[in-house]
């Protein structure tokens, strides 16, 4: 049976809804998105031909504030993936206690096959399709998989042309100098390591003496590695997708990974050159071998459904912490095994919430038309992430609950209370 991330998101919700003894009305409200949009985007290609792309936007819940969530350019993107990600965004905003709801968007496309001008046309067409349904007080998009700052500024420009004004708070993840926030590029990865560092303290683990394996070498993974190395940890391997072979590879060096060195041989799509890496002393292993390393810490920072019933058995006995930098990397079946083995998990919607937290900071700065220095942004980020981590950790200790369940308890309760207060359901 094909993996369905939305069914996984619902299963996670159902488990905690039962523990919280939520009413049938609030369960029905929070289990499904409030609004969703699927639309066709006809685009003229550079060669003069026309192609029709499928676009999506899902607004899961806006009880606590405008929806917030990224836009993915991903081949094979489906409405169920977007539904799941929008749902997780609702919990993510709630667990770090920022006044936003959950949304997500995407286009089924492969950026490897598209020129920059074709990508710009896609960005503008996506905004035109949704111009009345998104905005600074409705739904605020941001970058996600295969989208970057320049995609966001094209979308902002199209939105402002349609609405005849300046609305910098419409979208986040913009380039610095065009309404973007300093620190936004590093925020998600840095937030992962902020949570990891707090977890190490709570578990009496010296992070400076620890070892880690990371899945991914994109924005989240790179900055997570950067901050982890600054704290003294030793990185054993990273992995990345290779489009030419249509598979991923793990790049391992027992003496330690040098991410600056690897970045120099990485192309614009985040693919590491295998021949050059081998010349630098890296072993080139199958993509899932990152999971089978003898390390203290695993950081899945790529895709959903990576630690599942078929792969969880690869995890070595010495692993103490899994810090989920990706969205939905661990399935409920794998969770049961990890829980039984006593591995400490920092759940995705807490661990990778640094991105949306800094996006919230960007939105605030845009609406004030006053921007903070980078140190101030990153200090505020650390304060928010550390506070959220300790709130979840204390709940897990108090309730003797798995960390994922504790995070869901806090997030779902906050969203449920907001919806009840508005009269949308009974708790």
Judge whether 386 and 346 are in contact, CB under 8 Å: no
CA-CA distance, 225 to 169, in Å (whole number)?
30
Q: Active-site residue among 104, 174, 252, 384? A: 104
Judge whether 282 and 275 are in contact, CB under 8 Å: no
DSSP track, 343-371: -EEE-HHHHTTHHHHHHHHHHHHHHHT--
Judge whether 249 and 240 are in contact, CB under 8 Å: yes
User: What's the half-sphere exposure (Cβ side, CA atoms, 13 Å) at 339?
Assistant: 15
Alpha-carbon torsion (115, 117, 118, 123), positive or negative: positive
CA-CA distance, 120 to 151, in Å (whole number)?
7
Give the number of other Cβ atoms within 10 Å of residue 369's Cβ: 10
* Number of residues that make up the chain: 427
Tokens of 387: 């506070």
Report the side by side order of strands in the sheet with 211-215: 283-286, 247-252, 234-242, 211-215, 297-300, 321-323, 344-346
Q: To 5 degrees, how large is the angle CA 352–CA 353–CA 354?
A: 90
CB-based contacts of 39-44 (< 8 A; 24+ apart in sequence): 39/129, 39/130, 41/107, 41/122, 41/125, 41/126, 41/129, 42/125, 43/118, 43/121, 43/122, 43/125, 44/121
- How far from each other are the two terminal CA atoms of the chain, in whole angstroms? 35
CA-CA distance, 192 to 353, in Å (whole number)?
8
Known catalytic residue: 21? no
| Residues taking part in catalysis | 104
């Amino acid at each position: 049976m094909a993996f369905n991330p939305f069914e996984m998101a619902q299963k996670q919700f159902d488990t905690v809804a039962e523990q919280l003894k939520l009413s049938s009305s609030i369960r029905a409200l929070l289990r499904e998105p409030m609004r969703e949009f699927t639309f066709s985007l006809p685009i003229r290609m550079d060669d003069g031909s026309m192609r029709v792309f499928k676009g999506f936007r899902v607004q899961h819940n806006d009880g606590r504030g405008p929806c917030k969530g990224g836009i993915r350019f991903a081949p094979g993107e489906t409405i169920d993936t977007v539904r799941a990600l929008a749902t997780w965004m609702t919990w993510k905003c709630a667990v770090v206690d920022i006044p936003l709801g959950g949304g997500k968007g995407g286009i089924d496309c492969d950026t490897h096959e598209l020129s920059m001008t074709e990508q710009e046309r896609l960005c503008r067409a996506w905004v035109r399709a949704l111009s009345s349904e998104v905005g600074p007080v409705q739904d605020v998009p941001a970058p996600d998989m295969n989208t970057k700052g320049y995609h966001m500024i094209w979308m902002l420009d199209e939105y402002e042309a349609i609405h005849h004004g300046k609305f910098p708070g419409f979208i986040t993840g913009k380039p610095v100098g065009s309404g973007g926030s300093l620190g936004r590029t590093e925020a998600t990865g840095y937030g992962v390591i902020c949570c990891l560092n707090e977890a190490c303290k709570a578990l009496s683990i010296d992070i400076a003496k620890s070892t880690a394996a990371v899945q991914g070498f994109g924005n989240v993974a790179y900055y997570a590695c950067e901050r982890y190395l600054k704290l003294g940890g030793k990185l054993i391997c990273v992995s990345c997708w290779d489009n030419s072979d249509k598979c991923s590879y793990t790049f391992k060096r027992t003496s330690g990974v040098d991410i600056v060195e690897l970045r120099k041989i990485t192309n614009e799509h985040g693919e590491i050159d295998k021949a050059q890496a081998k010349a630098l002393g890296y072993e080139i292993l199958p993509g899932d071998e990152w999971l089978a390393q003898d390390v203290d810490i695993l950081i899945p920072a790529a895709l959903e459904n990576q630690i599942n019933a078929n792969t969880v058995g690869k995890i070595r006995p010495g692993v103490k912490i899994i810090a989920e930098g990706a969205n939905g990397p661990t399935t409920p079946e794998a969770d049961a095994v990890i829980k039984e083995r006593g591995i400490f998990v920092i759940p995705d919607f807490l661990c990778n919430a640094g991105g949306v937290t800094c996006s919230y900071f960007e939105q605030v700065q845009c609406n004030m038309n006053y921007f903070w220095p980078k140190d101030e942004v990153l200090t505020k980020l650390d304060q928010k992430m550390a506070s959220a981590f300790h709130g979840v950790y204390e709940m897990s200790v108090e309730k003797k609950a798995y960390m994922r369940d504790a995070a869901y308890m806090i997030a779902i309760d906050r969203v449920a209370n907001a919806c009840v207060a508005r009269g949308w359901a009974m708790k």
